Each structure stands twice: as C-alpha cells, then as structure tokens.
Structure 1
Amino acid sequence: MSPEHRRLIWVIGAGGLLGSEVVTAARTRGVEVFSPGPIRWADPADARHDLTRAAADFMARAEGREWQLAWCAGVGVTGTSTEQLDAEVSVFRATLDALTEHGADSRGAVFLASSAGGVYAGSSGAPFDEFSEPRPLAPYGHAKLALETLLRDWSTRTGANVLVGRIANLYGPGQDLSKSQGLISHVCKAQLRREPILIYVPLDTVRNYLFAPDCAQMVVVGLTSLQAQARTQPSQQWLKVMAGPDATSISFVLAELQRILKRKPLVVHGSSATSRFQASDLRLRSRVLPHLDQLAATSMPIGMKRTLDGLRVALNRGYLV
C-alpha cells in the first residue's frame, strides 16, 4: 500500500468552511480521515479536555504510519476580544502538548490556518509575501502570530513538520455567516435576500480572495509535499501565503455580483470600531512552493456563482436567518 493510502489525517474544525473542504479533499486523495466525537467549543476547558482525549486516540490510530493534523478551527475575527483569543491560543497549546505526550515525531505534519489579513494589516510595501514583516493591528492578528510561534517551537522540540498557511480572504458555499467576516458570502446573501449591503471600508479597498475548495487542495497537497521532503530532511517548517492570483477591489466584487444576478446591489456605507484594523491595500503574492499556487484555479466569477448557488439552496430550505 502506498504512503498516500497509509496516511491518517485529523481535521480540527471539520465542520467549518475550510475544514469541511479539507476533509473532502483528503478523502478524494485516499487519505484516511480520523473522526473523533464532537468538540465542545463553547467552553475552552471542555474543548481542551475533548481535544486532549481525541489526541490520544488519534496518535494510537496513527502508530507506525505517517499522520497529518490540519488546524482549521477558530471563531475569532478582527473584532474578537483579547480574552476570547487567548482562550483559543490555550486550546491550541493544549492540543500540541497532548500530541507530544502521545508520541508526536518526525512522521507527523501539522497545518495551521493563519490569516494574511490579520498578520499583515499594519505592514507596509504591498504586495505582501512570506518574507514581509508581519505587523498586526488587532488582537486577532497578534493571536494568529502567537499560534504560529507556538507551532514552530513545538516542531523544534518534537521534530514534527509544520506548514503555516497565511490565507487570504476565504469564501465559498457553507461559510458561517454569523461571523463578521467573509465579504463575498455576506454580499451574496444580502443580494439574494434583497437586503442592503452594509460596507464599513472604502470601495477601493483591495484584497486577494481564495475559493475554499481550492485552499483545501493547497492544504492537502502541501502536507503531502511537506512529508515527502521530510523523509530525507526532517523537521521541516514551511510558511506559505495562500491566495488567489489577482487582487480585487470591493467595487469589482459588487460589479461582478450585479453582472451575475442582473440586479444592482444596494450598498449602504457604515462605520465600525474595527475599521481602523482594516488595511486599504492588502495585496498578496507568494514566493515559495509555486506548485501549490496552481491549485488556486477557480476564477472569482465562477467562485461567486458557486457561492450564490449554495446560498440560494440554503435560503430555499430555510437555513438562512
């Protein structure tokens, strides 16, 4: 049996936008998916308990073969409080500690979903890449850097391999619309429901976007590439900016939405305390692992159409409130 089919992956946050797509991508490539019981995320102490217990089961299942963990969890957004973010960091730390306790070593590879928007919000010299200096403005960005540091230090101690993905604005069907992030999904929802679209930043604000299924392919292929190299050079620590190839303004997003639905969106400009944390120019590019960039193949018009189709189904079934 090939190493690909012997590999085991645990996707933490498997019910979310990215995590669910990573599960699909892994299964498509023949990777066995570890599925523990539900994690009680509402209380950090409960989450630590559940993840610690699941880590023991996971490492027992992974004995003698290569294993992967994809951390796609997290409810934090730009305006999340420091207290909530500190709790997320503590849960992540506890999970890494549990992996160490149960034998994490160089056969393992861990992916961390970080945020390009969070860590580069105050940086200068766009477009930003893996060699740009991170300068977070909000506690959210600082928390993402804290997670990255924890993971690198853990890799140094255990010999396990790590891939940090600083991800652009992610979008796609199934996004959690209760969170105040995900511009494309939110404007699509508002347009379908014929509601005003509330925008808190200038329309010339520029971002890179990434369709979630494409990002998931980058994660799964990236972990596979990481482990292939680690067989001869262990303790790999990779950083990758994961973004679509083209930076796009909010004006373009709205114009594309109008083109698809044949209806002009109603835009209302508002103000928010978190607007000061939003950079006007957050163009991204990647200078490493170019084979992963080829997987960001879904154009924005096609990605928006698929997002709209998914939201339309959810709306018709009464899932959107």
Structure 2
Amino acid sequence: MTLDWVIGGGGLLGAALVRSLQARGGARFLPADRFSWTEPERLVGQIRAAVAEFEQQARHADAWNIYWAAGVGAMGSTAAELANETLAWGELLNAVSDSGLPSLRPGHIGLASSAGAIYAGLRADVIDENCDIAPTTPYAEAKLAQERLLADFCSRGLPVAALTARISTLYGTGQARGKRQGLISHMARSIVRNRPIQIFVPFDTVRDYITAEDAAELIIDSLRTLPPGVGRMRIVAAERPTSIAEIVATFRRVARRPVLIATSASQLSSLYLRRVQFRSIWETARPASSTSLAVGVAQVLAAERLAHAGGLQR
C-alpha cells in the first residue's frame, strides 16, 4: 500500500489526482490542521507539523508519494499573490529533507507546473522538453522558482524520485469559479445560463486541452517510472491541437442549441501566443486513450447543468 498526500486536493487537478490514486488502492493522507495560506508564519509551522505526521503514517506503508497541486495563481496573477505558494512549497521540501522520510521508504514527489505559462513567449511549431523557456508573466516566473526549488531538493542526493510536470491547458469538472482561467468551463457556464460567451482571443487560437483526469493519470504514471534519486521534467499534454473555433463548434453539437458569442479585447490577450502545440519526448508513460474533446465538453456541460439546477432549488 502507498501513502499519498495531495496538497491542493480540492482543486481541479488535485481532486483528479486523489480519485486516480484511490482507484489504484492508495491510502490518502490528510493533515490534522488545515493550512492557513494567507498567514505565512503560521503556515510554515503547519507544514512542518504535517510532514512529521505524514512521516509517522508512512512507516506503515510500502511507499509514499507527495503531489503538489496547490495554488490559486493564473496567468494574470501578480508576484505578490503568488509569493505564499512558492514559500510554502520551499518549506515543504525542506521539511521533507530534514525528516526521516527519504530513508524510510521509497518516496516520490510531484510538482504541478505550467507549460502554457513557461513557454508563453516561445515561437515554435511544436514545443517539447528540449525547447528554451520563454516566461512572460509573474505567474510563469513563480512556477520557474518552484521548479528551481525542486531541482535544489534533488541536488541533495536523497533517494527520492521527483517529477516536474509542465501541464498544458487543463480543464474538467469542478474548476474553481473565481479563478481567472478555464475557457471550457466558462463556455459551459454561459450556455447553461443562456448568456453570451465572452471570447477575448481570435477564433483560430490553438491550444492543447487536456482533462484533469488524463493529466493526473499521466503524472502518476510518469513519476512512478523514475528510480530513487532521479529528478526529471516532462510536458503533460494531450498532444492534440485544438482551436477556439473547434471548441465552439463542439459545444454547439453537444448542447444542441445555438451558442451566443461576444468577442472583445482583454489586457490578458497579449500574454498568449496564437498557436501552441506540445509534444513530450518521453518514451515511457505516453498519453494513453485520452478523453476526446466531445466527451470532455459533455462532462463539463453536464456538471454545470447539475450545479445550476442545484442552485435554483435552494
């Protein structure tokens, strides 16, 4: 049995990781104290206490895994908004390094990063792990800072495998409503409420959309291929380019109704390249039978209809 700790387990990716790990027979770790993300001094103590608690439970497991999927940052976030996330991540790694976890059982640590942010300024036909980074936002810089913290952790010679997962455009059911991202969720919400869909980028804008479930499976499988003491980075993507026009057409087919569109400019539009395609050079843990856009859109639309109906009944 593995002991799995997903930090950020209530978010889109984190919840998918929890579901996938539990389906594989893992035991979920939940700290006794809920993290106080807006109180840095208190948060440091909470992280240290949680790692000590996790170590005690890991003594009864065959292996332990920690997945970092926390954070409320997005492309439009400021450096100040992201500072606590990076601080907490660094404290977690230091606490793990100082604990008995590395020598206790085989261990794995996974970091959810952002391919879309880190390569945002790169002009390339297809982006893989060998491409140069091209950050354009404080969000990208924060993600790179988190990646460097994990690289520093790996340099300590500990027998812990580590994966940096640079994820393409993530979508799925349960995406946070207050987060400044999530085109597919935004479209579904607008359709259910019969409101115009606000589009801030050209219709030929191309992205790589991957469901949270598919991303979670790929992250777990990739991390488990790494031997102790090895740290690697991989791009986690569906490796299937999709345009905004294709998403709109898919919603029309799935919803079986006209889709109201309102186009306008946004200050965030300049942060995004017109066309982004990803492909990982990893030979192991390749994307399996990934969810099709039609199925993914149908799932998000069904979840939004259910949430809307529940709200009306209150």
TM-score, normalised with respect to structure 1: 0.91
Is 1:94 the counterpart of 2:91 in the alignment? yes
Is 1:72 the counterpart of 2:69 in the alignment? yes
Is 1:123 the counterpart of 2:119 in the alignment? no
Is 1:20 the counterpart of 2:15 in the alignment? yes
Cross-structure match for 1:316: 309
Deviation string, structure 1 residues 246-271 (Cα, Å, up to 9, x no partner): 10011110111011112222221222
Cross-structure match for 2:100: 103
**CA distance 1:124–1:253, change in 2 (3 Å):** same
1:300 positional shift? 0.7
1:73 positional shift? 0.6
Distance in 2, matches of 1:43 and 1:147, equals 19
**CA distance 1:319–1:59, change in 2 (3 Å):** farther
**CA distance 1:105–1:172, change in 2 (3 Å):** same
Is 1:260 the counterpart of 2:254 in the alignment? yes
Q: Is the 8 A contact 1:68 1:223 kept in 2?
A: no
Is 1:215 the counterpart of 2:212 in the alignment? no
**Paired residues, what number?**
309
Calculate percent identity across the aligned residue pairs.
35
Cross-structure match for 1:47: 43
1:272 positional shift? 2.1
Q: CA RMSD in A?
A: 1.9
Letter matched to residue 39 of structure 2? D
Identify which range, 194-203 or 113-122, moves more after superposition.
194-203
Distance in 1, matches of 2:276 and 2:39, equals 34
Is 1:284 the counterpart of 2:283 in the alignment? no
Q: Secondary structure at the match of 1:252?
A: helix
Distance in 1, matches of 2:113 and 2:8, equals 13
Deviation string, structure 1 residues 288-312 (Cα, Å, up to 9, x no partner): 04433115x2101001101111111
Q: Is the 8 A contact 1:171 1:209 kept in 2?
A: yes
Cross-structure match for 1:189: 189
Deviation string, structure 1 residues 63-118 (Cα, Å, up to 9, x no partner): 37421100011100011111121221111101111111212426221111100100
Q: Secondary structure at the match of 1:282?
A: coil
Q: Could you tell me which of 288, 293, 296 is aligned with 1:300? A: 293
1:225 positional shift? 2.1
Cross-structure match for 1:235: 229
**Gap regions ≥5 residues in structure 1:** none
Identify which range, 157-166 or 22-31, moves more after superposition.
157-166
Distance in 2, matches of 1:185 and 1:319, equals 19
Cross-structure match for 1:179: 179
Letter matched to residue 25 of structure 1? S
Q: Could you tell me which of 40, 54, 59 is aligned with 1:58? A: 54
